[in-house]
């Protein structure tokens, strides 16, 4: 199992924090959020990691190098132009010669990734979406599943959201899923996932997860982790 960290976004919702540094380098307490992600992958036995980069890519490469400081091997794929979330993963196709995990570069979580991977294989799923219940899913992709966890409907950032399962931006994929992603710009939430209804599954987690993509969520996550050791991902 390999992994891809999607770390190419500009992080406009985190300005002014991201005026000078890319979003994966914003700190959660004492280290960049991307360091927490790498350590999570390492704890679950994933050491071959691709990083898809765009905005201020050089800073990320300078900070993490080849990954040896973390006991992993990092391979970088820098986009010349934005490719979207799914398109950026397709751009790393040469690296992805086996099944893989995809994780957003702005996710802070203590997810039991090993358990999620076991679920993925138990369901013989081509693509598994890590999801979590949310009372106010505004701004997130919303999933509906059948009794067995199979995805039956998906809407990216609905206009009138109600309590639902939301997409955590973490996926487990069979390598064959790359054949479903065309070259060029392509998005997971708006294009690929809706096309996988009836095939993909949702793994529902109650582990701690936070999208730090906005200033309120970023500051709240730092406060929560500092105040509550149980929420510390490492």
The DSSP bridge pattern shows strands 201-204 and 141-145 to be: unpaired
The DSSP bridge pattern shows strands 27-28 and 151-156 to be: unpaired
Q: What is the DSSP letter of 95?
A: T
* Residue 132 burial (CB count, 10 A): 21
Catalytic site residues?
157
Contacts of 140 (CB under 8 A, 6+ apart): 134, 157, 161, 166, 167, 211
φ/ψ (deg, to 5) at 232: -70, 130
Query: Which tokens go with 56?
Result: 């201020």
The C-alpha angle 196, 198, 201, rounded to 5 degrees, equals 75
CB–CB of 24/68 below 8 Å? no
How long, in residues, is the chain? 234
């Amino acid at each position: 199992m390999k992994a891809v960290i999607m770390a190419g976004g500009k992080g406009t919702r985190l300005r002014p924090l991201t005026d000078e540094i890319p979003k994966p380098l914003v700190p959660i307490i004492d280290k960049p959020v991307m360091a927490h992600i790498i350590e999570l992958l390492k704890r679950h036995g994933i050491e071959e990691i691709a990083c898809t980069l765009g905005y201020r890519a050089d800073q990320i490469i300078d900070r993490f190098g080849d990954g040896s400081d973390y006991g992993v091997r990092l391979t970088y794929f820098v986009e010349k132009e934005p490719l979207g979330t799914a398109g950026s993963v397709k751009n790393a196709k040469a690296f992805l010669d086996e099944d893989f995990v995809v994780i957003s570069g702005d996710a802070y979580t203590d997810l039991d990734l090993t358990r999620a991977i076991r679920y993925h294989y138990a369901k013989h799923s081509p693509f598994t979406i890590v999801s979590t219940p949310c009372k106010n899913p505004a701004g997130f992709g919303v999933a509906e599943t059948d009794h067995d966890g199979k995805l039956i409907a998906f809407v990216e950032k609905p206009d009138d959201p109600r309590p639902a399962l939301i997409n955590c931006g973490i996926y487990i994929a069979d390598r064959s899923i790359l054949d479903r992603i065309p070259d060029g710009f392509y998005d997971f939430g708006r294009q690929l996932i809706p096309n996988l209804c009836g095939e993909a599954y949702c793994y529902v987690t109650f582990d701690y997860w936070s999208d730090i993509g906005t200033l309120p969520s970023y500051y709240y996550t730092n406060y929560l982790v500092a105040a509550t050791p149980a929420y510390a991902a490492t």
